[in-house]
Amino acid sequence: MGKVILITGASSGMGKETAKKLISEGHTVYTVARRIDQMQDIGQIGGHPIMMDVTDEADIDNVVNTIIRKEGRIDVLWNNAGFGLYGSVEDVPLDEARKQFEVNVFGMAAMTQKVVPYMRKAGQGTIINTSSMGGKMYFPMGAWYHASKHAVEGLSDCLRLELKQFNINVVVLEPGFIATEFGSVLLDGFAKIRKDSAYRQMMNKIEDGTRKAAEGNGSSKPAVIANAVTKIINSKKPKTRYRVGKFAKPMVWMRTYLGDKLFDKIVMSQL
């Protein structure tokens, strides 16, 4: 039997690729993003795209109420919406940092709060929260992004324990380097603060590395995420974490077992 699935951040990359795969497998898939024009192809193959901003409570209410009215349930919520804010702690305006948390953390929490009552009533459900290998490690110029993803990890762990009694699974997805718009967003962020920054040299090196990764074989295709999400959805007892994509497993392993100073040295050697 197909499941009713709600995916945020599905206008491109991992969200869109996975939505298409799940639709082809017979699931009822609702996709939401601000850029609804970029989800028309999902509608053409049987999906249900809806425009929504994860920071707008009225938008969230409209989406959840629409799905419940039409389907009567939401079996899977994949909190995938998010973006990467890059720049030094000194340079990034705090208003931009707050926006990072509004989308990556509070948007995810708002979606969860609206959907959980229906899953609880049904006595089952699965919530997938997109973190990152960056939720377990760190890299210079990524303080606000890493902080938001560390918050996703902690929130998800607490949520998992709270919802276990209601037979609701909470799974953390930790992608590595995936070929998405992430790199271009990073470069755009640097462009806004480069002129007067004391960190220009470091920014230039990170930009060079980002471009080389995009041009070469430095990233996995979004299909690896689609396969992982399918595996999670089809599992009666999914793992608590799925680390998928280029460098995800080795980078988190190094962060876990090598200690701060050695890991710092390895990271800085790349710059």
Low-confidence ranges of the chain (pLDDT < 70): 180-187, 194, 213-218
Catalytic choice (3, 20, 86, 131)? 131
Query: How high is the pLDDT of residue 181?
Result: 61
What one-letter code names the amino acid at 55? T
Catalytic choice (3, 16, 114, 149)? 149
- Supply the pTM of this predicted model: 0.93
Q: In the annotation, is 269 catalytic?
A: no
What one-letter code names the amino acid at 137? M
Residue 30's nearest CA partner among 51, 47, 13, 55 is: 47
Q: In the annotation, is 257 catalytic?
A: no
Catalytic choice (30, 86, 118, 145)? 145
Q: In the annotation, is 12 catalytic?
A: no
**Contact between 113 and 64 (Cβ < 8 Å):** no
Query: How high is the pLDDT of residue 53?
Result: 96
pLDDT in tens, 68-80: 999 999 999 999 9
Query: How high is the pLDDT of residue 198?
Result: 93
pLDDT in tens, 223-236: 999 999 999 999 99
Q: In the annotation, is 145 catalytic?
A: yes
| CATH classification for the domain delimited by 4-269, as one of 3.40.50.720, 3.40.50.11540, 3.40.50.10490, 3.40.50.300 | 3.40.50.720
Other Cβ atoms within 10 Å of 235 Cβ, number: 12
